[in-house]
Amino acid sequence: MNNKIVVITGASSGIGRALAFAFGREGAKIAICGRKADALNQVADELRQAGITVFALTADVSKEADVKNFVEQTVVHFGRIDILINNAGISMRSMLIDTDPAVIEQVMNINFMGTVYATRYALPYIQQTKGSIVGISSIAGYRGLPVRAGYSASKFAMNGFLEAIRTELLHTGVHVLTASPGFTASNIRYTSLDAHGQITGETMREEGNMMSAEACAGHILRAVQSRKRELVLTAQGKLTVFLNKWLPGLMDRMVYNTLAKEKGSPLKRD
């Protein structure tokens, strides 16, 4: 990773922030973006204090012009791009029958279209360096989760997109990684949207019992270094993907019953 140029979207907190430190400590130079200028600049300052070279730019990945400008300004600043990590994301939590479709559209625009925009505009530079494209997906991209239909849809879309471009780029030397954390301690649940698009501001799970964002970032760093195709994290995540492939009916019941136990879940418990 020494002197590699690593671009990370949604890096003002959580896994994105942890990735910036993980790659930066390996000698990479980091370009980060996020929607909240204050939080983004604080992370940039922390990276510089740790001796990591960083370029930060406020950008909303759901806006094509913002993403295009972020990629272009990164190239102006560093001269190239070696690795793109599509990390920016948002979640939602509500039953479909109660959900304004605009909420699902917002989730899709950030999680999926943000990945499309960043990958499209960074790709010419990554082809030059035979670098890596990484998508931070989710177990929800393999197994649809109740009360998170829009989030699951966005991650299924990301997985299909990455698989398609991995195949398109098969003979170009470009590496494509789909990284799917299980439940990870980050702020994504605190910032998830409710049925009307309002931020919930609370988590429904025990954050202390989950994989840390730093541990997650370490796994992703090693997967990029070894140019892995897919990465599924946590024992629960791996078991979910495996069982959903071979015993989907059982998994319908298991997933329902597990998520029905969450704090404030609208699912009826058996």
Of residues 117, 125, 151, 190, which has the active-site annotation? 151
Could you confirm whether 151 is annotated as catalytic?
yes
What's the fold here for domain 5-234? Rossmann fold (3.40.50)
Hey, where are the domains in the chain? 5-234
Q: Residue 269 class from Cβ within 10 Å (0-12 exposed, 13-18 middle, 19+ buried)? A: exposed
Residues 129-153 have pLDDT tens digits of: 999 999 999 999 999 999 999 999 9
What is the share, in percent, of the chain residues with pLDDT greater than 70? Answer: 95
pTM: 0.93
Residues 36-56 have pLDDT tens digits of: 999 999 999 999 999 999 999
Q: Give the pairing type, strands 83-86 and 54-58.
A: unpaired
Return d(Cα 101, Cα 124) in angstroms, integer: 34
Higher pLDDT, residue 270 or 77: 77
Mean pLDDT score of the chain, rounded to an integer? 94
